[in-house]
Amino acid sequence: MPTFYMFSIWEAIMEIIVASYRVSTVALNTLRDTDNTVFFIIKNSLNTILLALKSSTNAIIDESDKAREDNMGIFLYLLIAASCSLFLSLAFLIPVINKIKKGKQEVLKLFTHKNVERHIDDQLKVCRNFVSTKL
């Protein structure tokens, strides 16, 4: 008989379950460590397999947590960079907007100033005509 057997994880679990059932049906005083079934159960206990599955699952969880933390850090850096670029663009845009606003006000002032002057001149002519016709 070979010293070890090659099983897939599911075959090993099934073999452990079957062997455990066989051992549970045997009387305790007849159990010996040299018996192949008992030796198999001792060497490949289900707790060892469960611990291996748990450690591999924990490794996967730890890797996914690490990847999530890395992605959160990258997202945070991108968010800070976007915020900084927004404030820098505002620092450049505010003087330009103020200059445009002042230019708009000057143009509006020039047009309204000319209209007001023309209106005043027209009113003065009307008044002079009225006064000259009354005198």
- At residue 58, φ and ψ (nearest 5 deg) are -65, -35
Measured between alpha carbons, how far is 102 from 91 in angstroms, rounded to an integer?
18
- CA distances 41 to 1, 7, 26, 37, Å, are 17, 14, 13, 6
Q: Which residues contact 117 (CB under 8 A, 6 or more apart)?
A: none
* Confidence (pTM): 0.40
pLDDT in tens, the chain (135 residues): 456 667 677 777 787 777 777 777 766 666 666 676 666 666 666 566 667 778 888 999 999 999 999 999 999 999 999 999 999 988 888 888 888 888 777 777 766 666 666 666 777 777 777 767 765
